[in-house]
Chains A and B, each alone.
Chain A
Amino acid sequence: AQSVTQLGSHVSVSEGALVLLRCNYSSSVPPYLFWYVQYPNQGLQLLLKYTTGATLVKGINGFEAEFKKSETSFHLTKPSAHMSDAAEYFCAVTGGNEKLTFGTGTRLTIIP
């Protein structure tokens, strides 16, 4: 079975500052990890995914995440926040042969 913990249900950063959204996972098998973003009144959009290979994964809109097996983490970062980054972000995990399990989400607010 898999599970995801997202630390911080709300995160606020100033425009131009570093964005760091935390995600820790639990998996009994090698995990596949995802970050999705949800804008108001919309569905989820994939930001990036980790399957195997390179542990630093680059996604859309300048986001990236690093898979750290020893820390069971997959934190999402962006060097410089933009107003358009305000949204809710979900980390998700699957073992590859069952459902995708989501974290509870982190709402990101950008302060002008």
Chain B
Amino acid sequence: KAGVTQTPRYLIKTRGQQVTLSCSPISGHRSVSWYQQTPGQGLQFLFEYFSETQRNKGNFPGRFSGRQFSNSRSEMNVSTLELGDSALYLCASSPTGVLGANVLTFGAGSRLTVL
């Protein structure tokens, strides 16, 4: 059974640019969550999508957005990049999210460096 696949694994952007990250969940999983991981802030919740609808959202500015497609694949976009957006972005999938304590299965992450 294939795991959670995130692309690209590494990318470098400059300030002001935008970036799109992709996440393919485990087959049959309908929930996709996104987290930002930085040394200073740890793991911060960005948002969760379930059946193409954003169900939960963390405390990030509107520059951070996401969407989910009918096949449950998800993308997140960050516009007008800032140096502080440099981080490891982790995607996690589960059958229905955290309802009933479903386990989140994480991908390997996309490491974004903003210069």
Chains A and B are bound partners: yes
Q: How large is the interface on A (under 10, 10 to 19, 20 to 34, 35 or more residues)?
A: 20 to 34
Q: Does B99 lie within 8 Å of A96, measured CB to CB?
A: yes
Whether a CB of chain A sits under 8 angstroms from the CB of B72 is: no
Given contacts A46-B103, A49-B101, are A100 and B42 in contact (CB under 8 A)? no
**With a CB–CB cut-off of 8 A, which chain B residues contact A98?**
56, 98
Distance, CA A12 to CA B56, complexed state (A): 37
- The answer, yes or no, to whether A97 is at the interface (CB within 8 Å) is yes
**Contact mask A45-88 → B, CB, 8 Å, 1/0?**
11001010000000000000000000000000000000000000
- Chain B contributes a number of interface residues (CB within 8 A of A) equal to 23
Chain B interface SS verdict (over half): strand
A82-106: CB near B (< 8 Å → 1, else 0) gives: 0000000010001011111111110
Given the known A-B contacts A90-B43, A99-B58, A100-B33, are A44 and B100 also in contact in the complex, defined by CB atoms under 8 Å? Answer: no
List 17 interface pairs A-B (beta carbons < 8 Å), by A numbering: A43-B6, A43-B106, A43-B108, A44-B106, A45-B106, A49-B103, A97-B98, A98-B98, A99-B33, A99-B45, A99-B48, A99-B58, A100-B33, A100-B45, A102-B43, A104-B42, A105-B43
Bound Cα distance from A94 to B45, whole angstroms: 12
A100 touches B104 (CB 8 A): yes
B4, B58, B90, B104, most chain A CB atoms within 10 A: B104
Contact of B101 among A43, A94, A99 (CB under 8 A): A94
CA distance A103 to B42 in the complex (A): 8
